[in-house]
Amino acid sequence: MKNKLIYLIAAALLLQTSVMATVNEPTLNLENETLTVTGNTESQKAGRYVNVLVFNPDKSISDLGTAGALQYNSSTITDENGDFTFHIAINKETMLKDETGQIKAGEFTIIVKDDEAGQPETFKKFFADRTLRESIVKLMVSNAASDSKTNEEKIEELTVELNEYKKELSLENNVFNNVGKDTIASLIINNGMLKSATIATIQKIIFENVLLAAFNEGKSSLLYVNDSLMYQAELGLTAFDTDKDCTIKKLFDSYITQTGRQKTVEDMCKNNFGILQDLKNKFAVQTVLKAIAYPNIDGYGVLKDILTSKNAKAVGLNLTTYMSLSDTNKGEVNRDLYKNEYQTLQALQNAIDSSCENHKDQVTPPSSPYSGGKGSGRVSDGSATYISVVDAKKTESFSDIDGCKWANQAIIALYEKGVIIGPEKSKFAPDEKVTREQLAKIVCLAFGYDITNNNHSVFSDVQDEQWYTSYVQTLYSKGIISGISDSEFGVGMYVTRQDIATIIYRIIGNNNISEEKEFTDKKEISAYAKDAVNYLAGLKILNGFEDGRFGATEHCTRAQAAKIVYDSMNAR
């Protein structure tokens, strides 16, 4: 029965034609003799079955059913991101041995297939007896630690050894095979890295320097594959934010366009890195530069997440003057920097300093309405924040709002307090529609809610740790906002006029509902929104159009949203 099942698996592997999206080069840990296979299914969905077959050296799929042919046969289910991992402990009892009882060296054949792809991925991985591997490591360490040889001689010897023992030490992969072994050897010897190496550490030492060599030789095509920076764990980048107490890695993963990420890797190349820390420092700098130049989030407000004190410390930026600016003037600096590509950290520093100098004279501390001064200020009652009336003449922030003078005061007031920004410098785009996640952020900032630290969403379409995740979660946890269904929030969908009414009503409303407003299209107002529309209309926060319609299902514009939110904040 077991053999029959194996034959069925083999037949399924051979008959299909499509290809899996990504299977990483399997790795073999020499110390614990474990084979690791990782990858991501074609659809990147959870719950996909992935099968792995591993054949012993000198055996293949045609040997199925014969003794000693199969080293491993199992399946797993992909996680929520479509990723899968197999950790396979080598069973040497199934392998052929020579007359001395040692394992016969040779290549494992590894076949990987998921349930939605056909033609499997096939890999070869060389395996040798531990005694042989230990003797090779001892030889390499002895040569590297010799006091009678010059560094040049040691580099020459190690170059030969890397070529000669690449299979036995399981070094072969696409990167190792395509970089200069002399470059690898030079990095290792010049830093004295092999003098105390063991079988447990030699692979890590060598492969870290393989990656450094690839960057130094400009082999970006080996390092950035399928829109992804490869070998992030080996480069020490997966824990970068934790180690440095910053959000640099998060910026790289979530804030930069595909083009920006690729340019980040390309600009890390040909820098003559000596040690891994040099590369990590360059990664941090290039990530900040490219996050500014190639943001995947519209609007210069994204720079508030990039130019933080912690990120500045991680890369060596001086943001003392920038941080001392008012929110308004800081926003002006962000406008100046937004989508500009700076080639060096010093160029960015110069641009920040110059912009801060241009805008610092405009800095005026916000005054409270109770201080007797004019301007804008926030007054908190412990649960919500209100904005006082602003003199619209003092801020000429946007050049495109003359056509909506009825909303000017609201737009300027909310801009002054950092609640709203424009998509680009001097532009507010008043007629553009507001998405549901954009409104969530506006409401959170406008009404002064403490933002939840929970960046894991209950909605399937609200990805973790996006710019809007915490805002959606905050309002959802307070019962202010809900999804378009039990599982979906409706990211990217425009807010309707009746929905913004409902959300605002949940914040400022009470049971004293005004009489029904006689909109000509009142029958089109959904039942769940009627009380909200009538309440806000009674407060004159909501008005209909000149033809008497309310337009319940029409999309809310940015100008309308600003006016509704601003008037609601001052209505209580």
CA distance linking residue 243 with residue 310, whole number of Å: 12
pLDDT digits (tens, 9 = 90+) for 165-202: 998 898 988 999 999 999 999 999 999 988 888 888 99
Residue 514's pLDDT band (cuts 50, 70, 90)? low
CA distance linking residue 400 with residue 426, whole number of Å: 8
557 within 8 A of 433, measured Cβ to Cβ: yes
Nearby residues of 494 by Cβ (< 8 Å), 6 or more positions away: 433, 434, 435, 436, 555, 556
- Which pLDDT score is estimated for 383? 33
CB atoms within 10 A of CB 241: 19
pLDDT digits (tens, 9 = 90+) for 297-353: 878 888 989 999 999 999 999 999 999 988 778 888 988 999 999 999 999 999 999
In degrees, to the nearest 5, what angle opens at C-alpha 539 toward C-alphas 418 and 449? 35
Phi and psi for 117 in degrees, rounded to 5?
Answer: -115, 165
pLDDT over 70 at 390, yes or no? no
532 within 8 A of 505, measured Cβ to Cβ: yes
pLDDT digits (tens, 9 = 90+) for 520-547: 888 888 888 888 888 888 888 888 888 8
529 within 8 A of 553, measured Cβ to Cβ: no
CB atoms within 10 A of CB 371: 10
CA distance linking residue 480 with residue 472, whole number of Å: 10
What pTM did the predictor assign?
0.58
| DSSP per residue, 158-195 | HHHHHHHSTTTTT--STTGGGS-HHHHHHHHHHTTTTT
CA distance linking residue 39 with residue 55, whole number of Å: 19
Domain spanning 2-127, CATH class: mainly beta
- Which pLDDT score is estimated for 276? 93
Nearby residues of 318 by Cβ (< 8 Å), 6 or more positions away: 312, 349
Question: What's the rounded mean pLDDT across residues 280-301?
Answer: 92
Nearby residues of 64 by Cβ (< 8 Å), 6 or more positions away: 3, 6, 7, 10, 70
Share of the chain above pLDDT 70, in %: 87
Of 94, 173, 101, 159, the closest CA to residue 130 belongs to: 101
- Which pLDDT score is estimated for 306? 95
Q: How distant, in Å, are the alpha carbons of 28, 30, 34, 325 from that of 128?
A: 11, 9, 13, 64
pLDDT over 50 at 92, yes or no? yes
Phi and psi for 308 in degrees, rounded to 5?
Answer: -100, 160
The more confident residue out of 369 and 138 is 138
pLDDT digits (tens, 9 = 90+) for 144-170: 999 999 999 999 999 999 999 998 898
Phi and psi for 53 in degrees, rounded to 5?
Answer: -115, 130
Question: What's the rounded mean pLDDT across residues 408-417?
Answer: 87
How far apart, in Å, do the first and last CA atoms of the chain sit? Answer: 76
Could you give the dihedral angle defined by the CA atoms of residues 276, 280, 281 and 287, in that order, rounded to the nearest 10 degrees? 160
pLDDT digits (tens, 9 = 90+) for 339-389: 999 999 999 999 999 999 888 744 333 332 222 222 223 222 223 333 333
CB atoms within 10 A of CB 470: 20
**H-run or E-run covering 345:** helix 345-359
CATH 2.60.40.10 residue window(s) in the chain:
2-127
Residue 513's pLDDT band (cuts 50, 70, 90)? low
The more confident residue out of 288 and 418 is 288
- Which pLDDT score is estimated for 340? 93
Share of the chain above pLDDT 90, in %: 41
pLDDT digits (tens, 9 = 90+) for 419-460: 888 777 778 889 999 999 999 999 999 888 888 766 667 888
Length of the chain: 572
- For the chain, helix (H) and strand (E) counts, in that order, are 21, 12
- Which pLDDT score is estimated for 378? 29
Q: Which residues pair with 34 in a beta bridge?
A: 29, 89
**Torsion sign (Cα): 513, 516, 520, 522:** positive
- Which pLDDT score is estimated for 21? 54
CB atoms within 10 A of CB 175: 20
Nearby residues of 70 by Cβ (< 8 Å), 6 or more positions away: 6, 53, 54, 55, 56, 59, 64, 94
In whole numbers, what is the pLDDT of the chain averaged over residues? Answer: 83
Amino acid at 542: L
